[in-house]
Amino acid sequence: MTTRFAEPMSRLIEELRKLPGIGTKSAQRLAFHVLRSSDEDARALAHAIEQLKRHLRLCSICNNITDVDPCTYCTNPTRNQRLICVLEEPTNIATIEKTRGYNGVYHVLHGTLSPVNGVGPEQLRIANLLTRAAALAAESEPSEIILAMSPTTEGEATANYIAHELHRAHPALAITRIATGVPAGSDIEYADEVTISRAMEHRRTL
C-alpha cells in the first residue's frame, strides 16, 4: 500500500511498480532515491524516458528497436536480405552481431509463445514474418529463415509453431533451427560468441 505517502510520491511509486521485476518495496526505494537526487538528475531521468518514447520505434520490417524506419539492418545493401534470423528479443541481435560471422538480416518476435502467461501467436510479431517469407518465396533466388529462439521449452514451442506455419504456406522455403550448441534450457542472451557461432554454423533444416 502506498497511500501513506504524499500524493506525488504515491504517483511515482505506482508508475515504477508497473516496471518488470519491480515490486512495491523496490518502487518505494527508487522513488525515494529520485526524491533525494538533485533536480538536475531527476530532470535528466524524466527527459531520457520522454526522448526514448519520442525517438525510438519498432522497425516496420523486422521489429528491431530503431530511430529510423526501416532500420539500418533492413536497408543495408551489403547484408544478405534473403537470409533472416528470427529472434525473441531486440537484445538478441547484439548477441548474434558479436560473432561477426552473420551477414543476414533479422526478425524480432518480442517474446515467445507462452499459453500459461496468455501469450499466443497474435501477441508476437509473427504476422509480418509471414509477409516477409511470402516475399522471399515469390522470388527464385535461394533464401533461408533461421529460427534462433533459445532452446527453452517456450523457445522450442515457438520455433515449432513458426516452422509449421512457414512450411504450410511456403513448402519450398528453407527453414533452419540453430544447433543445440547453446545449452538446453538456457537463454541465448547468455551464451558466449563461440557457442553462438557454432550453433549458427551447425544449424539443421526443419
Residues forming the site for Zn ion (CB under 5 A): 59, 61-62, 64, 70-71, 74
User: Rounded to whole angstroms, how far apart are CA atoms 179 and 181?
Assistant: 5
> Which residue's CB is nearer to Zn ion, number 71 or number 166?
71
> Which residue's CB is nearer to Zn ion, number 64 or number 176?
64
> Which residue's CB is nearer to Zn ion, number 27 or number 62?
62
> Which residue's CB is nearer to Zn ion, number 1 or number 94?
94
Contact 193, 98 (CB under 8 A): yes
Report the nearest approach of Zn ion to the CB of residue 61 (Å). Answer: 4
> Which residue's CB is nearer to Zn ion, number 61 or number 136?
61
Report the nearest approach of Zn ion to the CB of residue 106 (Å). Answer: 7
Going by their DSSP bridges, the two strands 204-205 and 174-177 should be labelled as antiparallel
Taken as a whole, the chain contains a residue count of 206
Report the nearest approach of Zn ion to the CB of residue 177 (Å). Answer: 22
User: Rounded to whole angstroms, how far apart are CA atoms 85 and 149?
Assistant: 9
Which residues is 144 bridged to in the sheet? 83, 174
> Which residue's CB is nearer to Zn ion, number 61 or number 200?
61
Report the nearest approach of Zn ion to the CB of residue 130 (Å). Answer: 16
Report the nearest approach of Zn ion to the CB of residue 62 (Å). Answer: 3
Report the nearest approach of Zn ion to the CB of residue 203 (Å). Answer: 21
Question: Roughly how many angstroms between the first and final C-alpha of the chain, as a whole number?
Answer: 51
Radius of gyration of the chain (CA): 21
Query: Which whole-number Å values give the CA distances from 72 to 57, 76, 105, 127, 200, in the listed order?
Result: 13, 6, 10, 21, 22
What is the grid cell recorded at 83?
Answer: 537470409
